[in-house]
Amino acid sequence: MSVSRISALGAIALSGALALSACASENNGSAPAAGSTGAAAGSTAAGDCFSGDLKAEGSSAQKNAIDEAIKAYQNACSDANIDYQPTGSGAGIKQFIAKQVDFAGSDSALKTTPKDGKVEADDAKAACGSEAWNIPMVTGPIAIAYNVKGVDKLVLNAEVAAKIFDGKITTWNDPAIAALNKGVTLPSTPIKVFFRSDESGTTENFTKYLKAAAPDAWSYETGKKWTGKGEGKEKSAGVATAVKGQDGGITYVELSYAQQNQLPMAQIDNGSGPVELTADSVGKTVATAKQTGTGNNLALKIDYATKEAGAYPIVLVTYEIVCSKYADAATGKKAKSFLKTFASDAVQKQLQSKGYAPLPAEVATKVQTAVSAIS
């Protein structure tokens, strides 16, 4: 199944969700397809260009995607300097609230409930002096990627996955794994778990899946900071590279990073049989998402515990966290101008080759409306 087919159907499903409810390295250095930057550059009218600096940071999951948008924008607007640092979703939100960056990338929407005595959405609103919006820009599945000699196909369910990532299942031939993989010769190799050491929206989405689908096996709270067992590595590239170099290794990572490192990915049994990570299976889960935000705040809630047959349940949406009205009007114009290019049909189409889902027409309209409303 090609990346583009996965991306396309995921995008269609996200479109339906909104309509009905109305992290290789962090930069793999690959060149854009011939002519792609020029085509995307056409989405930025010369009169919309800004000169000067625009700073952002956050999600490493979207690093390769936002790089494409930056290339496209700067090709049309050579006086613009756009700096995006893939420090992780948690760090990005903290820097946005601290007014150190102009917008943040996050694989989860701003929290509306207290954590450690703070509410992210409230803090972001205070920092902006206006409402802070969650604008979905990139979608993609999270793979459970592994490296076990002789094992090319693996089935896991939420309970077994939770016990692996909690250090309660420690060898690959454990009876619980064997029961899900009849006929597969599993070695006694020790399991080596790698997790994101930085605060990560990918971690949050993965732990939401474990908590929702296996609450008895995963007792920890969900969040951007990992609370299970294993060895920490920074960012998406860090965990993917670690698994590639470790027989017995396993991690959770965005599809594009698993593919770049040629890592096999587990099929997930959500109660209706093993489900491979494919276009159809991703789309079925994303289609169950509900819009929780109102107006131009396009936050979504995903049903990680879905029992729908053929649904792959571990997916994420990357948001751009912005001020609806920036205290500095010039900064608002810069953010709006760049995000118009990021949300454009030309740039979104390019993202398919990077393992991401482009915004379909219906979602693009909502996102473009929200971006155009930034001031």
Q: What percent of the chain has pLDDT over 70?
A: 85
Q: How far apart are CA 245 and CA 235, in angstroms?
A: 16
Mean pLDDT of 306-321: 91
What's the rounded mean pLDDT across residues 106-117?
91
Q: Where are the alpha helices (DSSP H) in the chain?
A: 3-21, 36-41, 63-76, 89-97, 120-128, 158-165, 175-180, 201-213, 235-244, 255-260, 279-286, 329-342, 345-350, 361-372
Q: Report the phi/psi class of residue 122: left, alpha or beta, with left for phi > 0 and alpha for psi in -120 to 50.
A: alpha
Smallest Cα–Cα separation from 302: which of 12, 1, 21, 5? 21
What is the full DSSP assignment across 207-243?
HHHHHHH-TTT--SPPSSS--SSSEEESHHHHHHHHH
Cα separation of the two ends of the chain: 41
Q: pLDDT, tens digit, for every residue of 58-99? A: 998 899 899 999 999 999 999 999 999 999 899 999 999 999
Is the confidence at residue 185, as pLDDT, over 50? yes
DSSP string, 259-323: HHTT--B-EEESSSSEE---HHHHHHHHTT-EE-S-TT---EE--TT---TT----EEEEEEEEE
What is the average pLDDT value for the chain, to the nearest integer?
87
pLDDT band at 6 (very low <50, low <70, confident <90, very high): low
pLDDT at residue 347 greater than cutoff 60 = yes
Residue with tokens 């189409």: 349
The pLDDT confidence band at residue 357, using thresholds 50, 70 and 90, is: low
Question: Of 360, 374, 373, which Cα lies nearest the Cα of 137?
Answer: 360
pLDDT of 23 reads 42
With a pLDDT cut of 90, the percent of the chain lying above it is 65
Rounded-to-integer distance, Cα 211 and Cα 229, Å: 15
Neighbours of 68 (CB within 10 A): 23
The pLDDT of 337-343, averaged and rounded, is 96
Banded model confidence at residue 331, pLDDT cuts 50, 70, 90: very high
Q: Return d(Cα 230, Cα 232) in angstroms, integer.
A: 7
Residue with tokens 């690093």: 63
Task: Say whether pLDDT at 261 is over 50.
Answer: yes
Q: What Å distances lie between residue 89 and 62, 86, 246, 355, CA to CA?
A: 10, 8, 26, 19
279 pLDDT band, cuts 50/70/90, is low
Q: Is the pLDDT of residue 39 over 50?
A: no
| CA distances from residue 338 to 46, 53, 65, 305, 348 in whole angstroms, order as listed | 12, 11, 13, 36, 13
Output the six-digit token pair for 59: 């999600």
pLDDT at residue 194 is higher than 60: yes
pLDDT at position 31: 38
Q: What number is the average pLDDT over the span 254-258?
A: 89
Q: What is the pLDDT of residues 210-234, one digit of tens each?
A: 999 999 999 999 988 999 999 999 9
Q: Which residue in 95, 78, 77, 76 sits closest to 86, CA to CA?
A: 95
pLDDT of 50 reads 96
Q: Is the pLDDT of residue 292 over 60?
A: yes
Give the position of tokens 């990338």: 105
CB 137 within 8 A of CB 62: yes
How confident is the model at residue 37, as a pLDDT? 47
| Predicted local distance difference test score (pLDDT) of residue 8 | 54
pLDDT exceeds 80 at position 135: yes
Look at residue 10 and tell me whether its pLDDT is greater than 70.
no
Q: How many CB atoms lie within 10 A of CB 179?
A: 11
Question: What pLDDT is attached to residue 25?
Answer: 38
350 band by pLDDT with thresholds 50, 70 and 90:
confident
Handedness of CA 344, 345, 350, 355 (dihedral sign): positive
* β-sheet with 274-275: strand ranges across: 155-157, 267-269, 274-275
Which band of pLDDT confidence, cut at 50, 70 and 90, is reported for residue 56? very high
Looking at residue 61, its pLDDT comes to 85
Q: What distance in Å separates the CA atoms of residue 173 and residue 186, rounded to the nearest whole number?
A: 5
Question: How many Cα atoms occupy the beta-carbon half-sphere of 356 within 13 Å?
Answer: 27
Which residues, 6 or more positions from 26, have their beta carbon under 8 angstroms from its beta carbon? 60, 63, 86, 235, 236, 237
Q: Do residues 102 and 55 touch, judged by C-beta distance below 8 A?
A: yes
Give the pLDDT score at 358: 60
* Tokens matching residue 287: 């289609």
